[in-house]
């Protein structure tokens, strides 16, 4: 590959690189959120907040409560078409939702962020388990992105189909010296 091609390929891959990687949503430390000046956290739902059976963990609930006490706003932004499901999770976690978001398109991100006109993009973070929807979408929208490990391996066909390509990108990401120590997902 020529040098220009190589550079181009690398810059394309960068669109899929998260700013941070954690094993679970509730592992994102408040220290980091505060240091980055984050005031709004957008969260994917499937396999990020809930498992395949629709369950979420006690620790996640604690984390949400802690952030609310620090006045950090939270919002679920899901591609799910089932409002019933998103509504149930939203109610259980006490976090508002936006469904049929069509991530990675910017439209959903924009609609949710427009609910918070006093919060700038620098103060917003997207958390999710998928590179092609959550991370790419968040990066394109110019907000901070956090990749988390999917809660369980069982998932829908479309997501499963994208995993091998995600692996290739993540390998490139981890091969970079500055990322080599990062959490492996
Ligand atoms: Mg997901």
Domains contained in the chain, CATH given: 16-179 (3.40.50.1000)
Q: Which residues of 163-182 are buried (b: 16+ CB within 10 A; e: fewer)?
A: eeebeebbebbeeeeeeeeb
Query: For position 137, what pLDDT does the model report?
Result: 98
Q: Kindly report the CA angle at 153 between 128 and 68, in degrees rounded to 5?
A: 35
Q: What separation in Å is there between the alpha carbon of 97 and the centre of ligand 1?
A: 14
Tokens 């990066």 belong to which residue?
A: 139
Residue 12 CA to ligand 1 centre (angstroms)? 22
Looking at residue 46, the DSSP 8-state letter turns out to be: B
Distance 36 CA to ligand 1 centre (A): 24
CA 182 / ligand 1 centre spacing (Å): 21
- Give dist(CA 153, CA 181) in Å, integer: 24
Token reading at 26: 């509730």
Distance 165 CA to ligand 1 centre (A): 16
Q: Give me the pLDDT at residue 183, please.
A: 79
Report how far ligand 1's centroid is from the alpha carbon of 48 (Å). Answer: 5
**How remote is the CA of residue 163 from the centroid of ligand 1, in Å?**
12
Is residue 29 within 8 A of residue 23, CB to CB? The reply is no
pTM: 0.90
Q: What are phi and psi of 151, to 5 degrees?
A: -60, -50
Residue tagged 């997207």 (tokens) = 126
The pLDDT profile of the chain, 185 residues, written as one tens digit per residue, is 567 777 777 788 999 999 999 999 999 999 999 999 999 999 999 999 999 888 999 999 999 999 999 999 999 999 999 999 999 999 999 999 999 999 999 999 999 999 999 999 999 999 999 999 999 999 999 999 999 999 987 777 777 778 888 998 999 899 888 888 887 87
């Amino acid at each position: 590959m020529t040098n220009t091609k190589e550079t181009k390929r690398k810059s394309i891959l960068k669109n899929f690189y998260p700013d941070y990687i954690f094993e679970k949503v509730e592992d994102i430390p408040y220290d980091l959120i505060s240091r980055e000046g984050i005031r709004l956290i957008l969260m994917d739902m499937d396999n990020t907040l809930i498992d395949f059976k629709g369950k979420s963990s006690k620790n996640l609930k604690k984390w949400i409560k802690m952030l609310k006490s620090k006045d950090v706003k939270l919002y679920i932004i899901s591609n799910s078409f089932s409002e019933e499901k998103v509504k149930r999770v939203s109610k259980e976690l006490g976090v508002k939702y936006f469904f049929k978001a069509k991530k990675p398109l910017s439209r959903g991100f924009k609609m949710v962020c427009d609910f918070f006109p006093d919060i700038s993009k620098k103060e917003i973070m997207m958390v999710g388990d998928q590179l092609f929807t959550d991370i790419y979408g968040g990066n394109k929208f110019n907000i901070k992105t956090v990749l988390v490990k999917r809660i369980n391996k069982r998932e829908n066909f479309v997501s499963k189909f994208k995993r091998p390509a995600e692996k290739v990108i993540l390998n490139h990401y981890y091969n970079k010296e500055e990322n080599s120590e990062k959490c492996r997902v």
